[in-house]
Structure 1
């Protein structure tokens, strides 16, 4: 049985992508805690982040850091936060969240976002990632994890 994230990565379900490489992708969550909230998801569906091999876990953290730095610049926040919980989908994922307050790390505060908001925030984040030199990892389209 496929997870929701496998369906998003494969294109069966829509997603708004800002990062893609051989190990993982990053895309908008449909219920952000703050504008620009992104999920970093490995292509392999490990149920828990502690199940992923060490090199994969390290890579996810590295990608989350790149995205966090881009969020700080794109959304003019003083920091970004990282939450790894994973109870709602049994597929490892890191929540990278632009923070204005510590309350922004509480996933229970997430609310369904309008498609226009998701489009504009993900485009702003994609532009910032490109400006930071990550052209080789920013997909050619927000709607696909393909790099070419």
Structure 2
């Protein structure tokens, strides 16, 4: 059964997309720890990030860097935190989280933005790509 991220890639589930290439997709987390919290994935479904082949892995990180630089321009923050946890969805992904303090990396504190707020945030980030 395809992961929720594969279903997003296939267009079966809507997402607030930030950036997309043939191989990668970045979209807003719908339950973010901070405004602008973005997930970056390879479109190819691989469960564990370190099971990605070297080219896909390095491409994912290069793509994530471009997205992170856009987030940093769009969202007031001290820097962009990067996390790879990989337990919640069986599809390799990178969290890009705007940080003003270490508390912003707490995955137990989730915001609940409206769809309109998510759309506005996505549009703000996309203008810097």
- 1:95 Cα deviation after fit: 0.4
1-structure distance, mates of 2:56, 2:110 = 27
- 1:2 Cα deviation after fit: 0.8
Match of 1:31 in 2: 31
Indicate conservation of the 8 Å contact 1:31/1:110, yes or no: yes
Match of 1:10 in 2: 10
2-structure distance, mates of 1:76, 1:111 = 17
2-structure distance, mates of 1:59, 1:109 = 30
TM-score, scaled relative to structure 1: 0.83
RMSD (Å), alpha carbons: 1.0
Indicate conservation of the 8 Å contact 1:8/1:15, yes or no: yes
Unaligned residue ranges in structure 2 (runs of 5+): none
2-structure distance, mates of 1:81, 1:43 = 22
The CA deviation string for residues 23-45 of structure 1, in whole angstroms up to 9 with x for no partner, is: 11000111011111110011111
The CA deviation string for residues 41-80 of structure 1, in whole angstroms up to 9 with x for no partner, is: 1111110100111111111111111111111111121210
Where do 1:1-80 residues align within 5 Å?
1-80=1-80
- 1:112 Cα deviation after fit: 2.7
Displaced runs of 4 or more, over 4 A: none
2-structure distance, mates of 1:64, 1:39 = 9
Residues matched between the structures, number: 129
